[in-house]
Structure 1
Amino acid sequence: MTVDLRGATDRSVRPARGRRARGPAAALGLLIGLFLVLLGPAAPASAHAALVGSDPASDTIVPDAPNKITLSFSESVQLISGKIQVLAPDGSRADQGEPQATGSTVVIPLRSGGGRGTYLVSYRVVSADSHPVAGSLTYSVGAASTPPTESAGAESVDPVVRALIPVGKYLGYAGLVLLVGPVLVLALLWPHRLSRTGPARLVWTGVGLVLGSTVLALWLQAPYTTGSGLFGVSGADLQDVLGSTFGAVMLVRLGVIIAAAFLLRPLLRGDGGESKADLALLGVLGVAALATWPLTGHPTASPVAGVSVVVDAIHLAAMAVWLGGLVMLVAFLLRQANERELGAILPIWSRWAATAVAALIIAGSVQALIEVASFKGLYASTYGRLILVKIGLAAVVIAMAAVSRNLVRSRTAENGPGRLRRIVMAELAVTAVVLGVTAALVQIPPPRTASAAESASTSTTISQTVADDSVSLQADIFPATVGNNSIHLYAYTLDNKPLPVVEWTATAALPAKNIEPIEVPLLRITDFHAVGDIALPMAGEWTFKFTVRTSDIDQSTLTMTAKIS
C-alpha cells in the first residue's frame, strides 16, 4: 500500500539544498565506485562445459579411417561458424560439409579414404550458459605419426574482452538495483509531499545501466565466442550472436526494459497518472526482465535447469529489492522524510528487508548446493571459495540489518535516524562488494562442471606398442582396472602397414602374486585386428604375452607389462 502522509506536520526535517543534491550522487557513487572490486586481475573466462568423450577416442589408434567424428560434451552446445576442423596427417582438411550439433553431441563428417597417420581435431563451440568451449584432440589411423599443427591462439580469449565481461555484468546488476528497489519504494512507500526528482534520476540511471550492459554484452559475445579482438568483429559474427539463444534472450531483455520505461514515466512524475493496471503490467515486465539473467548463465546448464532458473531469478529479485531499498533510504528518505513519515515507512521497509534477506539466503543456498555439488567443491575450487566469501560478507550484512531493524523497532534515541543512516550506508558498501563477487562467479566454472572436465581428461586406457624383427604389435587395454577388461590387438609391419595374422593367442599373469598365466580368448575382427575380454582379479604389474602367427612357419611372441589399478 502507498504510505500517504500528505497531512504531515510542518516540523519536517528539511536538509540543506546542497545536501539533498548530493544524496543520489553519493548512492550512485557507492555502487559505481566499487568497480574497483573488478578492476584487479581478471579471472580467466573459463569454459563452463567439458568434452567428456569422443569417437574415435582421444589418443587412440583405429585400424580404418572413420567417416565421421563424434564429440560429446557435458551440456548442450551451439556451433560457431568455421570453428571446427579436422586436419589430416599432411595438414590438409579432412572434414567435409557442415558439422551438426544435437544437444550435447557434435558430429563432424569426414572425407572418405583418409590416409594413415595422426589426425588433429580442433573445436570451438558455445556451451548452454553462453561461454565458449575450445580444445583439440588427436587420433591415429593405422599408426601414429607427427600430428599436424593448428594456428596459434585457437583456444584463447582476448584479454580486453575477458576483463570487460564481468564489468558489463556488474553494470547490469547495478542497474537492477537502481531500477527495481526504487520503483517499489516510489510505488508503495514514498510520501506524496516529497519531490521525486532525485529518485527518478536513480531509476533512469538504472534503466540506462541495464540497457547499456545488455548492448555491451551482445557486442562482447561476438569476440568472446570467436576468440577475436574487441574490434575484430564482423557483421556475420554479430548476426550469429543475435541468432543464438543468448542473443534472443538479450533482445527480449532490451524490449522488456524499453516497454517498462514508457510505463515508468507517470510513476516517476508523481502526478497520479499511473493506474493499477499499469503498475501490474510493470510488475509482469519486471519478472520477465529478471528471468533473462538466469537464462544466459549457469542455471540453464544445471542438472535441474527449471529449478535453477526460478531460484536464481528469486535471488536476483531479492537482491534488487533489498539493495535498491537501502539506496532509497540512505540517499533520500533518511535525509528528507520527517519523523512521522519515517515512523510509518521504516516498519514496512523492515519487513520487506527481512523477507528479501530470507529469500536471498534460501535461494542462494539452493543454487550453491546445485552448483557446488559436494562439500569438497566448497573449499577445493575457486567457485566454492568465492561462495564462502559471499557467505561471510552476507553474514556481516545480515548482522548490520539486525541492528538497523532493532533501531526501527525502538527509535527512542535522539540520534536514531543518523545512526540508522550510517548502518545502512555500511550495508550498502558491503553488499556492493558482494555484487562484485557475484559478477566474478558467473565467469568461473562451478565444481560440477570442473568435475566433468576432470573425469573426461582422465583416461584409464593403457596403449603400448611392442615389436621384434618382423612384427609391430599395438595393444590397448581398457579400463586397466580390477575386473572385466577389453584388449584390442593390432598387427603391423615394421614400416607401419597392416600385417595379416593367421592365428592369435594371449595370456596374462601376475608373478608378484603367484598368479599363473590366464588365457585370453581372442576374436579376429579383421586380418590384422583382434579383440578379447578377461577378468583381472587383482591390482599390480601384470605381464601380457602375445603370440602372433603370420604364416605356417612365421610366428612371433611379444611380451609387455601393464599396471592394473
Structure 2
Amino acid sequence: MNFLHLAASTAYTTPPLWRILTKSGYFVGLCGAIGFTVTYAAAIRPALRAPGSERGDVAALRQRAAVSLAWAGVVLLVAGYFQLAARVARVGKGMPFGDALAPGRIWDFLCAPAARGAWVPQGTIYLVQNIVLVLASAALIALFSPGARRHLNALALTALPLSAAVSLVAAVPATAPANADRVLDLVFDQVHIVSGTVWTGGLVLLVALAGVRRRLGGNAGLLWADIWRRFGFVALVCVGAALTSGLWISWKHVGGIGQLWTTTYGLFLLVKTLLVLGMVAAGGVNQFWLMPRIAQARRADATASLLHLTLRHFPKVVWAEVALGAGVLAVVPFLSGSARTQAGSPAPVATGSVFAVGALLVLTLVASLWMTAKASDALSRREVAAAA
C-alpha cells in the first residue's frame, strides 16, 4: 500500500497551508522565548558571572545574547498574532484566513460569550494569554535598546515566566475536565511543549552565541566549557521530560505499533520520533565523546585544544541537532487527529496496571539518564588519568 492510497483510505485530512505555517511559527516563537530565556538563566548567565572570565569575552557574549533575546521577542509577537488569527479562522467555520487577520474579527472572537457549561469564555482565556504574550515580547524587544541591555538579567528573568505562561494559560480548559485522564492529557501536553521548546530553543541560542568566536580571546574556551556543561544538564532534564510526556501522548493516540505505518497520523508520529531520537543520538555524542575531551583539556590547561573543542567541534554537532529540531517543528502541524481514530481502535483506558507500567518506564528512563551523566563523568576522569 503506497502513501497516497493510505492517506485516501483513512479519515486523516491534511491541514491547510496557513494552518501548517501558523502552528509551526507559533512553536518557533515559543522556542525562542522560552528556550532562549531558560538557557540564558540556567547556563549563560551563571557562566558569565563566574570568576576568571575575561571582560571582553563576557561583553561580546552579553551583547549577542541581548540581540538574540530581542529577536526572539519579535518572532513571538508576530507568530502569536498569526496563531490567534488561525484560531479565529478555525472557529469561523470556513472563514478565509485572510479575513481572520482583521483586528475586528479577532476582537469579536476574544469578546464572545461563554459557551453553555463553560466556567469562563474561551475568548477570555486567549485574551489573557495574548496579554501575557505581549508583555513577554515587550520585555525581550526592549533589549534592542543599548540602554536596556544594562538590565539584561532583569529583563530576561522577567520574560522567562511570562514566556512559559503563554503556553500554560492557553491550555487552561474553559470547561471542567471530564476525568483524570483529561487532566493528565493537559499536564503532559504542557510538559512536552515546554521541555521541547527549552531543548530546541537553547540549542539555537548557543549556536547563535558561538558565532562571536572571532571576537573572543584565547582563554574563551574555559568560559564556553562551563556554558556547555551547564546546558548539558538542562538538555538532559528536557530529554527526560520530553520522552516521559511523549510516552503518555503516544499511548493516548496510538493503539499499537502497527498503527505507526498503517495510519497517516502514525507515519508522521514515526517521522517525528526518529527525528527526536536523532537529536538524542547527537546529544549522546556530546556527552560521551566531546564533553570528556573538553574536561580533559580543561584540567590539563590546554587552552588551544579547549578553544577548538568548545567553539569548533561542539557547535557542529549542535547544528545537526538544530536541523533535526527544525524537522520536528515542521512535522508537528501534521499531527492532527489520532491513529486510534483512523484505525478504528477503541479509546484507551487508564487502569492501575497502565500507570504501573508507565511508572516503571519512567523510572527506567530516569535511571538511564542518570547513568548517562555518570558515564560521561567517568570517561572524563579516565581521559585525564590516561593523559597523565
- Structures share fold, TM-score greater than 0.5: yes
Q: CA deviation at 1:239?
A: 5.7
Q: Which amino acid aligns with 1:430?
A: L
Match of 1:410 in 2: 293
Which residue of the other structure, out of 192, 197, 207, is the alignment partner of 2:73? 207
- Structure 1: which 5+ runs fail to align? 1-42, 49-156, 456-565
Match of 1:241 in 2: 109
SS in structure 2 at match of 1:196: helix
Higher strand share: 1
Q: What whole-Å deviation, never above 9, does each CA across 1:344-393 have from its counterpart, x for those lacking one?
A: 22211111111111111111111111122444433321111111111111
Distance 2:127 2:273 in 1: 33
Relative contact order, CA 8 A, sep 6+: which one is greater?
Answer: 2
Q: CA deviation at 1:262?
A: 4.6
Distance 2:11 2:107 in 1: 22
Match of 1:174 in 2: 28
| 1:341 equivalenced with 2:223 (yes/no) | yes
Q: Which amino acid aligns with 1:271?
A: R
1:256–1:395 Cα change, 3 Å:
same
Conserved? CA contact 2:39–2:202, under 8 Å: yes
Which residue of the other structure, out of 38, 41, 50, is the alignment partner of 1:187? 41
1:230–1:346 Cα change, 3 Å:
closer
Q: CA deviation at 1:255?
A: 0.8
Conserved? CA contact 2:70–2:140, under 8 Å: no
Q: Which amino acid aligns with 1:439?
A: P
Alignment of 1:118-267 (within 5 A): 162-188=16-42, 189-190=44-45, 191=48, 192-224=58-90, 225-231=92-98, 238=106, 241-242=109-110, 243=112, 247-264=123-140
Q: CA deviation at 1:167?
A: 0.3
Conserved? CA contact 1:172–1:210, under 8 Å: yes
Alignment of 1:121-520 (within 5 A): 162-188=16-42, 189-190=44-45, 191=48, 192-224=58-90, 225-231=92-98, 238=106, 241-242=109-110, 243=112, 247-264=123-140, 269-272=148-151, 274=153, 282-292=159-169, 294=171, 304-333=181-210, 335-336=212-213, 338-405=220-287, 406-411=289-294, 412=297, 413=305, 415-417=308-310, 418-441=312-335, 444-450=336-342
SS in structure 2 at match of 1:226: coil
- Structure 2: which 5+ runs fail to align? 1-6, 49-57, 115-120, 298-304, 348-388
Larger radius of gyration: 1
Q: CA deviation at 1:313?
A: 1.0
Q: CA deviation at 1:423?
A: 0.8
Conserved? CA contact 2:340–2:346, under 8 Å: no
Q: CA deviation at 1:445?
A: 1.0
Conserved? CA contact 1:218–1:247, under 8 Å: no
Q: CA RMSD in A?
A: 3.7
Match of 2:351 in 1: none
Conserved? CA contact 2:73–2:141, under 8 Å: no
Higher helix share: 2
Q: CA deviation at 1:169?
A: 0.8
Identical-pair percentage: 22
Distance 1:267 1:369 in 2: 42
1:220–1:301 Cα change, 3 Å:
farther
Conserved? CA contact 1:266–1:273, under 8 Å: no
Matched residue pairs, number? 296
Conserved? CA contact 2:88–2:105, under 8 Å: yes
Q: Which amino acid aligns with 1:357?
A: V
Normalised TM-score (structure 2): 0.65
Distance 1:305 1:383 in 2: 21
1:383–1:273 Cα change, 3 Å:
closer
Conserved? CA contact 2:26–2:76, under 8 Å: yes
